[in-house]
Structure 1
Amino acid sequence: MNWDQIKGNWKQFAGKAKQQWADLTDDDLQQAEGDRDVLEGKIQERYGDSKEEAKKKVDNWMAGL
């Protein structure tokens, strides 16, 4: 699975992201609109993670899809 596939089907994957990161709001996911950098930023903001931690979390999430 690559990020282009996720971005192209963001409405489907937004639900899976919400399951993974329950603290993200629907508004957060809508703002991300499949943009990985925005998603990572929202994860940083909600969970207090560093940029590297958020990137690793997204990488691990993608690997499990």
Structure 2
Amino acid sequence: MNWDIIQGKWKQLQGSVKEKWGDLTDDELTQIDGDKDRLAGKLQEKYGWTKNDAERAIDDHFRDRTI
């Protein structure tokens, strides 16, 4: 998974992220702007996950996506 591509297509991918992690607000998704560390931080904050858990969930989500 190439994060440069994800960042470039972040607007299109926000829907799938919101569907997967519905506790994230539209404003938070805009602030994240395709940055993996910011997304992991928000998931840690919202769901109480460790950094490793958040990164694993992100990798799993985007690994299965056709980008």
TM-score above 0.5, yes or no: yes
- Corresponding residue of 2:8: 8
Q: Give 1:57 deviation, angstroms.
A: 0.3
Relative to the length of structure 2, the TM-score reads 0.91
Q: Distance in 1 between matches of 2:2 and 2:20?
A: 18
Relative to the length of structure 1, the TM-score reads 0.94
Q: Could you tell me which runs of 5 or more consecutive residues in structure 1 were left unpaired when the two chains were aligned.
A: none
- Corresponding residue of 2:55: 55
Q: Give 1:37 deviation, angstroms.
A: 0.4
Q: Give 1:44 deviation, angstroms.
A: 0.5
Q: Give 1:45 deviation, angstroms.
A: 0.5
Q: Distance in 1 between matches of 2:3 and 2:14?
A: 13
- Corresponding residue of 1:27: 27
Aligned-CA RMSD value? 0.8
Q: Could you tell me which runs of 5 or more consecutive residues in structure 2 were left unpaired when the two chains were aligned.
A: none
Identity across the alignment (%): 49
Q: Distance in 1 between matches of 2:24 and 2:64?
A: 19
- Corresponding residue of 1:36: 36
Aligned to 1:34, the other structure's residue is in SS state: coil
Q: Give 1:19 deviation, angstroms.
A: 0.6
Kindly report structure 1 stretches of 4+ aligned residues shifted beyond 2 Å. Answer: none
